[in-house]
Amino acid sequence: MPAASRTLAILLLSLLSLLSAFLLFQVQPVISKFILPWFGGSPGVWTTCMLFFQIVLFLGYTYAHALGKLPGRVQFAVHASLLVAALFLLPIAPSDAWKPGGAEDPGGRILLLLLTCVGLPYFVLSSTSPLVQVWFTRGMPGASPWRLYALSNIGSLAALLTFPFFFEPRWDVVWLTKAWSVAFVAYVALSVAALWLDRRSQAREAATTAETSLADDPPSLWRRFLWIALPALASVMLLATTNHVCQDVAVIPFMWVVPLSLYLITFIICFEHERWYESVPVLWVLPALPVLFVTITWDQLEDQSWWPSDLDLMSNYLWELGWAFGGMFLACMICHGELTRLKPSPRRLTSFYLHMSAGGALGGLFVSLGAPLLFKTHAEWQIGSIAVFVLACAVLGRTVWRLRLRAVRNFLCAVVGLLAAAGASFMVKLGFKFDERLERVRNFYGTLAVTEWFPGESSHSRELSNGGIIHGTQNLSPERRGEPTSYYGHDTGIGKALDSLQHKNGARVGVVGMGAGTVATYGKSGDTFRFYDINPDVPRLAQKYFTYLPDLQQRGAKLEIVVSDARLALERELSTPQNFDVLLLDAFSGDSVPAHLLTLEAFEIYKKHMRPDGIIAVHVTNSYLLLAPLIEKTAAALGYKTTRVATNASYDGEHDSTDYVLVTNNETFLAATPPEPPDDGTLEDEAKIHPRVWTDRHHDLFQILMLNLDEEEEAEGEEVP
């Protein structure tokens, strides 16, 4: 091939590799953010989307492998036809008809939605990376195609990082889907050009195939197994770590992007050149062993009697995130590094990628579908960490085995073997140590647990938690079981709002987010309390283990429960407004903020369901987000006034620190409820931000993200709903 043509071909294939990977990973956060509000803002939405993308990626790699076995003209016709067919599915924005109508299984609906809206475009994009490398190998015999794979991962990483920092703050999701569709058209044009150039290389490849096949022995069954097992383990670590941090550490949507970016970086490092891992695997293994060990066992270690009481490994959530992501990065680095050691000759490139994508899909299936059926906690994160720990010990043992001094080698191998066995068993012992729970349940929306404390004593109580966050407690002694506890005491914002209804006959109260049902303690005969919760297990546990809801009915009040996303349910009920006197917004799982419940359009729906003097109580207690300025600005945009009530935790532990913004035009209530702002320095932080009003099409979490936490305060901080 002439030098000019060779340069042109390299530029074309490099640009196509970058663009296809960029679009492949840009569509994931775009489409996930588009549909996230429809399914309650759960981390399960992202996990389900990841499962879909991994399966389609496997199908795309399968197609690329099969396409290479067809004659050249047939390859051109088939792939060009698929590219053109994908254009007819643009733009990729889902219609409102895909919104769920009730309590049906969200997982299946999400998968069907993705298949219909982005299935074919994503399929042809996913086949591009192996096809480009095949075209490169045919056009440039003797050249290594593996750096093109690293280049495609750079494009993927660029897509993930530019989305939250560049695209999301500037444009809404509808505009982003249209821009993506325009870029896809450019991708199709580049693909057709690359296909046309490849036809010239097919005759040359046919002439050398026989000679190459003689020098390239087929990979063994064990090698093929590792091609699947190693990426499967890396995929488990990626998704399990994402679930863990989103459920138990910091439930921030950006946390979906961070682990996936680290995952891609390991691909880039390992496939860019052998010197980064294959030459020095021990440099990755040695730090991985202690990091994985501490990551999986740190919270149990602090409960051990021999552990120093003043040693806090995770002083705040940033430290904990660092440990979790550090462990995941090193785990994926070892898995992908060992994978590159086993890569075949370029002629078997598509088969290698096919096995690798199958492993990724199997890991995704295990975390998304298998683990929720097998485990009641996120045990797959612990299982994956232990498996990588053993793998790291095996890699260390292999390095030691190559030592020339036989006695030293045998001794060190024995030490490594004992380390692997002892470490794994200790991690199992600590990692799977469960506290006593009356019931645990895990579903699409998270993990719930009911814990009982001090049975038979005067302080006998029960607690409902979601992950590591408490969602309601009740003292079960007869004289105290009717007291509002935790975040709902009489001095809190919601307490003041509901106490204002004590002399009102037939009051109507709406509650978005049931928890244990604590606010029902304010209900009296003739009142109606209508609870909305997207998780069907929450009402079941609240009525089975707590008495708040049955006691409400015994007092003569009416109890109504709607199992659905509150925003969608209230939207469906607009034909018959609820006429709420008080509407409590308390639907946050941990510190996760379902953005669709806090947009201008959402508050317009709430307003239509309120009485003229009604009160919307927004629970803004949060460890990571400054929500109050956003709520106050949204209220002002709708002509509402606000007051704010913050409370500190009580010394007896019955009441926790809370922060409520009360939205109303009830002048009597506003006069009786002067602002009681927080006294912990929050106001100073809020004065530095000027968030835009969130809308359904545009909301920027980074405007209100609180990154500079005081370590001492966080270490002693309260769990919040």
Rounded Cα distance between 706 and 685, Å, is 8
**Whole-number pLDDT of residue 4:** 59
pLDDT 10s digits, 187-202: 999 998 888 877 665 6
Rounded Cα distance between 635 and 629, Å, is 10
Full strand arrangement of the beta sheet holding 641-647: 558-563, 528-533, 508-512, 580-585, 610-619, 658-664, 641-647
Rounded Cα distance between 610 and 456, Å, is 44
Percent of the chain exceeding pLDDT 90 equals: 26
Token pair recorded at residue 618:
């927004």
Is 60 exceeded by the pLDDT of residue 211? no
pLDDT 10s digits, 377-426: 777 888 888 889 889 888 887 877 766 666 666 666 676 666 666 666 65
Instruction: Enumerate the β-bridge partners of residue 442.
Output: 447
Rounded Cα distance between 645 and 656, Å, is 13
* pLDDT band per the 50, 70, 90 thresholds, residue 74: confident
| Helix (H/G/I), strand (E/B), else coil: 64 | helix
If one counts every other C-beta atom within 10 angstroms of the C-beta of residue 237, the result is: 29
Ordered alpha helix ranges (H), 88-127: 106-126
490-715: CATH topology is Rossmann fold (3.40.50)
pLDDT 10s digits, 638-684: 999 999 999 987 655 556 788 999 999 999 999 999 999 887 777 87
**Whole-number pLDDT of residue 157:** 86
Return mean pLDDT, the chain: 80
HSE-up of 573 (CA within 13 Å, CB side)?
22
**Whole-number pLDDT of residue 707:** 53
* pLDDT band per the 50, 70, 90 thresholds, residue 342: confident
Percent of the chain exceeding pLDDT 70 equals: 80
Lowest mean pLDDT among 141-145, 264-268, 362-366: 141-145
pLDDT 10s digits, 278-287: 777 888 888 8
Q: Please, which contacts does 109-116 make with residues 24 or more away whose CB atoms are closer than 8 Å? A: 109/39, 110/35, 110/39, 110/45, 110/48, 110/49, 110/52, 111/48, 111/51, 111/52, 113/35, 114/31, 114/49, 114/52, 115/52
pLDDT 10s digits, 537-564: 999 999 999 999 999 999 999 999 999 8
**Whole-number pLDDT of residue 608:** 95
**Whole-number pLDDT of residue 668:** 94
Q: How many residues in the chain?
A: 721
**Whole-number pLDDT of residue 651:** 55
DSSP label of 91: S
Token pair recorded at residue 68:
């290479």
pLDDT 10s digits, 578-610: 999 999 998 754 445 677 888 899 999 999 999
CA-based R_g, the chain, Å: 28
Is 60 exceeded by the pLDDT of residue 268? yes
Token pair recorded at residue 91:
């733009």
pLDDT 10s digits, 269-314: 888 777 778 777 888 888 888 888 777 766 555 555 555 555 555 5
Please report the DSSP string for 497-532 in residue order: HHHTTTT-TT-EEEEE--TT-GGGGG--TT-EEEEE
Is 50 exceeded by the pLDDT of residue 484? yes
**Whole-number pLDDT of residue 589:** 47
pLDDT 10s digits, 37-52: 677 556 667 777 878 8
Helix (H) or strand (E) segment spanning residue 43 = helix 43-67
Q: What angle in degrees, to the nearest 10, is found between the helix axes of 282-301 and 317-341?
A: 140
Token pair recorded at residue 182:
């325009």
**Whole-number pLDDT of residue 469:** 74
Is 60 exceeded by the pLDDT of residue 214? no
Domain borders along the chain are 1-140+171-204, 218-426, 490-715
